[in-house]
Structure 1
Amino acid sequence: MSQLSKRTTALHQLSARELGQRYAAKELSPVDVAEAVITRIQEREPVLNAMYQFDPEDIRRQARMSEKRWATGQQRGALDGVPATVKENVARAGIPMPSGTALANPKVPSANAPITDRILEAGSVILGSTTMPDWGMLSSGVSSLHGISRSAWNPAWTTGGSSAGAGSAAAAGYGPLHVGTDIGGSIRLPGGWQGLATLKPSAGLIPLDAPYIGRAAGPMGRTVDDIAAFMSILGRPDIRDYSARPYAPMDFENPRGNVRGLKVGLHTVANAGAEVDPEVLAAVQAVAETFAEAGANVQRLDPFIDQGMLDRLDKFWRTRSWADYRELSEADQAKVLDYIVRWCAGGAGFDGADTIRNFGAIDQMQRATIAATAGFDLVISPVSPMAAFPAEQPMPVVDPDATMSHIAFTVPYNMSGQPAATVNCGFTANGRPIGVQLSGRVGADADLLRAARWYEAHRPAQATPNWLALD
């Protein structure tokens, strides 16, 4: 292979910051990078199945426009020409939004979501839409429409979900910037199971065109630096999100010098869901030790939710999805994944009073989470109690009648609106990534990412993903 070929094939590995710097120095063109990433996607997609919409000619068109802007000094910022993907439930004008289901006649939006507009305004090159499971209600890449999306680390392992394709795209080097959505852990679970840096931001910080209680969109990538750079454009107000809060401007660029004096909670017992696997527990405890050795004040954080809250929330979600399912024609009902049908059918048995009680779990969880974490600058916990499971499984627990036992550490922060990030902190004996969740106070997203960036820079070598090995 020639030196030029070696350099070209390595372009998909470059970070967003590296790309911006090399564009500015005239060392690289967005067109070269686009071609390298297109090649990368074409090489890996037959196995990973991470992309729902992928149009190489449209990618090349966007890249040529960016190349012209850089050549004439009219670039729109450091992310101009940097490749990005969005999850398939993030609206792109004219692109169908099937939400992972094989239902006929999926919605075709006439306008972009705020997220899509922000990415395009920054000049980033949208590579396409990434896959998700049916209605986003699975923590895997299993879909009635797409089949099975697979981990970039090992195709036998789950992607995590519901931002399934986004997780694999980020890990596999389909460019550095990716957007997922999250209502119970759907950004952080793929992040934890694929070695990624991710952020579920504070409620309403990244505007949505279809807001819902607990729902958030956020960045996913290989490094905290990349997702922090992405937040600088994603976290801008938009009137279309009627649930947005008036946050003060946040500076996502400045790194943290040290963590001395931070009040840090270590939360390893959720009091709900599955028990934490010993390998996961050891890796997360080691993160707390790293902070303590650097001068942070680390204290044990006792459990603050219970199994009843998690059960009632799961029951409410079942009812919500059953309401959607029962409106479908018989022919369309037959197209929904069997696991989802069995899961949401449980919601048919709850009357109005039951549903109100189940809905009340959201307030209970929000109140408990904010009260328990109020005294800390940062909370360290597992992302999930277990590492990645087989790709063919819809969930870690294969029984659709069982409560979602893997989200007890993630979902409280959806309900409370607090930001929560992930960073890889280790690997199991058989090489599966282990993520740590770092959470903070509402509106402290920039501070949280600074702490995550600090840990990323100070974690042991054996906890650092070797992305080159995935080539």
Structure 2
Amino acid sequence: MASSSSFPHLGRPISELTAAFAAGDLTPVDALEATWEHRAAVDPLINAVPYVDVDGARAAAEQSARRWAAGEPRGALDGVPVTVKDSINAIGLPWRHGTKPNEHLPVATVDAPPAQRLREAGAVIVGKTSMPDFGMLASGVSSLYGIVRNPWDLAASPGGSSSGAGASLAAGLTWAAIGTDIAGSVRLPAAHCGIVALKPTQGRVPHLAPSTVRSAGPMARSVADVVEVFHVVAGFDPRDTLALAPDAGGRADAFTDDQVSTLRVGLLTEMGYGIPADDPTLRTVHAAARALEDAGAEIVPMRSPLAPDAYDALDALYLVRALTEWEGHTDEGRESVLAPLVRWAVGARRLSATDYERALLRVAADQQRFAAAQSDVDVVLSPVLPTAAFPAEAVGMIPERPLEHCSFTAWFNQTGQPALSLPFGEDGGHPVAVQLAGPRFRDSVVLALAGWLERSRGRVPDWPLEPRPVPGHVWEVQG
């Protein structure tokens, strides 16, 4: 198995890899070859990168090597092996949206905006990462790909829907990835897999099809690496009719202690519905709050404005979205879609048009209440997940409503705010993360505070470059 000893830059920061390119100690072709070798050893265990573009990646790496040799790299990502999620079109790679009915679609001939920006920056797109059917599960179970496993604990889920991206980064397969997030789908796998991911301000990272709630977002092992990727993929693209104008702000350097001391930080530990955060999760969030308070930040306890039935309307919107995609397939195709997802999605058939409109209005009202509750703080600190892990075979923590456990993440999609997942603790061999969310357009604040918290954490996660079971751990699978 390729390991950190056979290729010492596996699992190391992007800056160290590109410094080696600049010094001539290795080339982008060397990094790509190490990626292929490591994937061959690791991916059969975690099932994270089902499609690779051997010829395209090799050509890109060779072109990058020539640029580095000439002292003319395109930037901080030139020659860096990366992946994109199955739901993001990339030339030469298939788009399957995680579902078996799409397995015979032709490969893409056009890059979606995130893939195009990566290529323009010289990054080497190695391949596509796994995801569940339609991207409508917060787990790694798919009718097409089977089960994606968490390299921290092969019996555990990597989360979803950017399942393969989270698992592959934790295992050191590449240095960065682009996922997408509609209810937490970059932040949830980041939390499960001990990496960092940003759901940006809605529209900051262009993506297709345009959406008011779904964002493409950068994922990597460190805040600094996420910053590098974010500044590449956040460029304006007119194909996304909801894309924001270019950000005039500067780069997001980590805050100093003096900057942290000026902040009012809202501490949100319950959402008013759903699975409550368990003790290890709460301990981790409070540890992050203490670090901020010790630096002089004001910690402001927050109460969620959401009622116990708030998720019902949100679930209705997810149901209709999933059912619409399912019904778009042939009868044969519909039969091959993941059965638990179908059992959930067909619940949309009981909804009338006026039921759906009422759900839209309820979600809009709750979204406004949730945004207003944050009006007097600079940033919100919360859990990402209510608990660290659940079985790899499960479609969610609550199988009958598989997105309900996304309570801490989903509402930031509705408000369009930037939100980030940062590993900050551990529970029984599983990473535990905290979430930082800021006002719209303040992505740099979220990233800068995350950089400070990452530094205050005092240790680097022991990423499982060789995937491992958790000794003695037995899951009880439900549903």
What's 2:352 paired with? Answer: 351
Matches within 5 A, 1:12-411: 12-104=10-102, 105-106=104-105, 108-246=107-245, 248-258=247-257, 259-398=260-399, 400=400, 402=401, 404-411=403-410
TM-score (norm 1): 0.95
Report if aligned partners of 1:84, 1:126 keep a CA contact under 8 Å in 2.
Answer: yes
Report if aligned partners of 1:367, 1:416 keep a CA contact under 8 Å in 2.
Answer: yes
Distance in 1 between residues matched to 2:423 and 2:402, nearest whole Å: 26
RMSD: 1.8
User: 1:106: how far off?
Assistant: 3.2
Distance in 1 between residues matched to 2:9 and 2:461, nearest whole Å: 18
What's 2:411 paired with? Answer: 412
Amino acid at match of 2:13: S
CA deviation map 1:350-374 (0-9, x unaligned): 1110010112233123212221112
User: 1:5: how far off?
Assistant: 9.4
User: 1:31: how far off?
Assistant: 1.1
Q: In the superposition, relative to structure 1, how do residues 362 and 247 fare at CA in structure 2: closer, same or farther (>3 Å)?
A: farther
Distance in 2 between residues matched to 1:470 and 1:110, nearest whole Å: 35
CA deviation map 1:69-88 (0-9, x unaligned): 11122321121001110001
Q: In the superposition, relative to structure 1, how do residues 111 and 220 fare at CA in structure 2: closer, same or farther (>3 Å)?
A: same
User: 1:470: how far off?
Assistant: 4.3
Which region of structure 1 is more displaced relative to structure 2, 147-156 or 245-254? 245-254
Report if aligned partners of 1:309, 1:364 keep a CA contact under 8 Å in 2.
Answer: no
CA deviation map 1:3-45 (0-9, x unaligned): x997642222221111222212222211111111111111101
Report if aligned partners of 1:88, 1:129 keep a CA contact under 8 Å in 2.
Answer: yes
**Structure 1, gaps ≥5 residues long:** none
User: 1:109: how far off?
Assistant: 3.5
What's 1:458 paired with? Answer: 456
Distance in 2 between residues matched to 1:6 and 1:316, nearest whole Å: 44
Secondary structure of residue in 1 paired with 2:404: coil
What's 2:463 paired with? Answer: 467
2:428 is the alignment partner of 1:442: no
Report if aligned partners of 1:247, 1:443 keep a CA contact under 8 Å in 2.
Answer: no
Q: How many residues align?
A: 464
Distance in 1 between residues matched to 2:219 and 2:118, nearest whole Å: 14
Amino acid at match of 1:466: D
Distance in 2 between residues matched to 1:39 and 1:250, nearest whole Å: 40
Report if aligned partners of 2:170, 2:465 keep a CA contact under 8 Å in 1.
Answer: no
TM-score (norm 2): 0.93
Identity %: 37
Which region of structure 1 is more displaced relative to structure 2, 365-374 or 274-283? 365-374
Secondary structure of residue in 1 paired with 2:406: coil
CA deviation map 1:148-203 (0-9, x unaligned): 01101111110100000000011010121111100001011001111111100000
CA deviation map 1:91-131 (0-9, x unaligned): 11243211110004436433110101100000011110000
Distance in 2 between residues matched to 1:377 and 1:420, nearest whole Å: 13
User: 1:143: how far off?
Assistant: 0.3
Distance in 1 between residues matched to 2:96 and 2:362, nearest whole Å: 29
Which region of structure 1 is more displaced relative to structure 2, 149-158 or 89-98? 89-98
Q: In the superposition, relative to structure 1, how do residues 311 and 31 fare at CA in structure 2: closer, same or farther (>3 Å)?
A: same
Distance in 2 between residues matched to 1:144 and 1:73, nearest whole Å: 46
Q: In the superposition, relative to structure 1, how do residues 218 and 6 fare at CA in structure 2: closer, same or farther (>3 Å)?
A: closer
Secondary structure of residue in 2 paired with 1:123: coil
Report if aligned partners of 1:425, 1:436 keep a CA contact under 8 Å in 2.
Answer: yes
User: 1:403: how far off?
Assistant: 6.5
Distance in 1 between residues matched to 2:465 and 2:172, nearest whole Å: 11
Secondary structure of residue in 1 paired with 2:336: coil
Report if aligned partners of 2:22, 2:71 keep a CA contact under 8 Å in 1.
Answer: no
Report if aligned partners of 1:179, 1:220 keep a CA contact under 8 Å in 2.
Answer: yes
Distance in 1 between residues matched to 2:363 and 2:207, nearest whole Å: 20
Report if aligned partners of 2:254, 2:450 keep a CA contact under 8 Å in 1.
Answer: no
Secondary structure of residue in 2 paired with 1:410: helix
Amino acid at match of 2:193: Q
Q: In the superposition, relative to structure 1, how do residues 85 and 5 fare at CA in structure 2: closer, same or farther (>3 Å)?
A: closer
Distance in 1 between residues matched to 2:376 and 2:106, nearest whole Å: 44
Report if aligned partners of 2:137, 2:403 keep a CA contact under 8 Å in 1.
Answer: no
Distance in 1 between residues matched to 2:188 and 2:429, nearest whole Å: 17
**Structure 2, gaps ≥5 residues long:** 468-479
Distance in 1 between residues matched to 2:199 and 2:392, nearest whole Å: 24
- Higher relative contact order by CA 8 Å / sep ≥ 6: 1 or 2? 2
Amino acid at match of 1:293: D
Q: In the superposition, relative to structure 1, how do residues 262 and 78 fare at CA in structure 2: closer, same or farther (>3 Å)?
A: same
